[in-house]
Amino acid sequence: MEFINLGNASLAAQYVAIELFREIKRNPHTKLGLATGGTMEPVYAELVKLLKSNPVDLSLIQTFNLDEYFELDKQSPKSYLYYMKHHLFDHIDIKPEQYYFPDNDRENLDEDNKAYDELIMKEHPIHLQLLGIGTNGHIGFNEPGTPFTSNTRMVDLSEETIRANARFFDTIDEVPTQAVTMGINTIMQSDRIILLATGEKKQSIIRQLYDMTQPNEEIPASVLLNHPNVLIITDNEASPYKKED
C-alpha cells in the first residue's frame, strides 16, 4: 500500500484522472470500477477533458459502479446513476450498455447481486478500481464490521454515513438508510486500486490506515493491506504525514 501526498486537491484529482485515462488508452477492453461522491467530481471533470483532447476509443470499455441507494428511483437526481451521467457518461462517447450499477430493486435482489458479481468477474475482473473512503473507513458502502469475504449485497448505512451524505439532500430525513454495494471480496479481485482522499475530514482515517500493519474488519479499508497493488492519493489536508495540532 503506497501513499502519495500531492499537496492540493486539484492536483490529486488530476493525477487520478490521468491514471484512469492511461488505463483506458493502454487497454481498450478495460474494466473500470468507479466511485461517486464530492471527492470524485473533479476527477471526472479532468477525465472528460482528457478524453475530449485525445483520440481514444471507448467503444469496448466497461464500467462498474460501487453502489446505488436501495429502492431510490434511478432517474432521481440523488441517484448515483444520475451522478455518473451528469459528471461523466453524458460527456463522453460511451453507450448505456457499457456501464453497470448494482440493481437496487427489492425483487430478485439476491439473484441480481450474484449476477452483478458474475458480470464483474466474467473473462477478467476489474482492471482499475477507484475508491473513496468514509470517515469511518468504509469503502463502497461496506461499513465497519463488514466481513472481508462479502460480495455485492444490500446493506444498512451507519448513522455516520447518513450524516455525511445529508449534504447531498435537502434534509437528513431524505437520505436513504440502505444501499446495494459491491462487496469487499469483489473489490479485492481488482488488478489495481487507487484510493483518493482529500480534505481535513479524511485525515484521521487516512492516518489510522497508514499506521496499521494488520487488517481489521472494524476499518474496512484496512483490507487493502492484503492487496498487492494499492495507491492512496491525498492532498495536504488528508495526508498521513500531516502533523497533529
Residue 216 designated active-site: no
Catalytic residue (choose from 136, 185, 216, 236): 136
Catalytic residue (choose from 23, 87, 138, 142): 138
Biggest CA–CA distance in the chain, Å, is 51
Retrieve residue 66's grid coordinates. Answer: 460501487
The order of strands in the sheet holding 128-131 is 2-5, 230-234, 192-197, 128-131, 31-34, 62-65, 99-100
Catalytic residue (choose from 68, 117, 143, 235): 143
Nearest by Cα to 195 from 152, 140, 153, 156: 140
Residue 174 designated active-site: no
Residue 136 designated active-site: yes
CA atoms within 13 A on the CB side of 120: 30
* CA distances in angstroms from 141 to 9, 54, 72, listed in the order given: 23, 34, 15
Catalytic residue (choose from 19, 23, 46, 67): 67
Residue 143 designated active-site: yes
Q: What is the tally of helices (H) and strands (E) in the chain?
A: 7, 10
* CA distances in angstroms from 67 to 49, 51, 154, 179, 200, listed in the order given: 25, 24, 9, 7, 24
Residue 91 and residue 222: Cα distance in Å, rounded? 34
Question: Looking at the annotation, which residues are catalytic?
Answer: 67, 136, 138, 143
